[in-house]
């Protein structure tokens, strides 16, 4: 028996001895897991995003897609909104609009 298997067995025995109330939770996880695995093929079938795009969500390298252009564009539009230069203000908080107090209502 290798070390990994022994560690798993020790964890299971420890669970039985020291945490018997937790066993019900593992039963529920098992039930949910079987239902989730049954739904998985249908979810994969309807998926629209390509594998390459999904892989970027889990990339562990440091910030390979910089946010600077997005942040700068949002900051500019917010500054224009506050200055009253935009008719359709994209600000999330419009209650404190210094350029036109009637706009906030």
**What 8-state DSSP symbol labels residue 27?**
H
The confidence score (pLDDT) of residue 39 equals: 94
The string of DSSP letters for 52-86 reads HHHHHHT--SS-SS--HHHHHHHHHHHHHHHTT--
The confidence score (pLDDT) of residue 51 equals: 87
Quote the tokens at residue 19. Answer: 């945490």
Asked whether the CA dihedral 78, 82, 87, 92 is positive or negative, the reply is positive
Render each residue's pLDDT in the chain as its tens digit; 105 residues: 688 889 988 988 888 788 888 888 888 888 899 899 999 999 989 988 888 888 878 876 655 556 666 667 767 777 777 766 666 665 544 445 555 555 544
On the CB side of 90, CA atoms within 13 Å amount to 8
Distance separating alpha carbons of residues 53 and 23, to the nearest angstrom:
39
Angle 72-55-38 (CA atoms, 0-180°, nearest 5)? Answer: 130
The confidence score (pLDDT) of residue 35 equals: 92
The confidence score (pLDDT) of residue 37 equals: 93
The confidence score (pLDDT) of residue 90 equals: 55
- pTM of this structure: 0.34
């Amino acid at each position: 028996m290798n070390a990994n298997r022994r560690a798993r067995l020790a964890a299971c025995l420890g669970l039985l001895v020291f945490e018997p109330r937790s066993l019900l939770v593992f039963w529920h996880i098992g039930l949910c897991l079987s239902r989730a695995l049954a739904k998985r093929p249908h979810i994969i079938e309807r998926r629209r995003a390509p594998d390459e795009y999904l892989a970027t969500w889990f990339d562990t390298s440091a910030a390979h897609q910089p946010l600077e252009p997005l942040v700068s564009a949002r900051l500019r539009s917010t500054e224009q909104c506050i200055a009253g230069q935009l008719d359709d203000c994209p600000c999330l908080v419009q209650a404190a609009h210094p350029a036109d107090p009637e706009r906030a209502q």
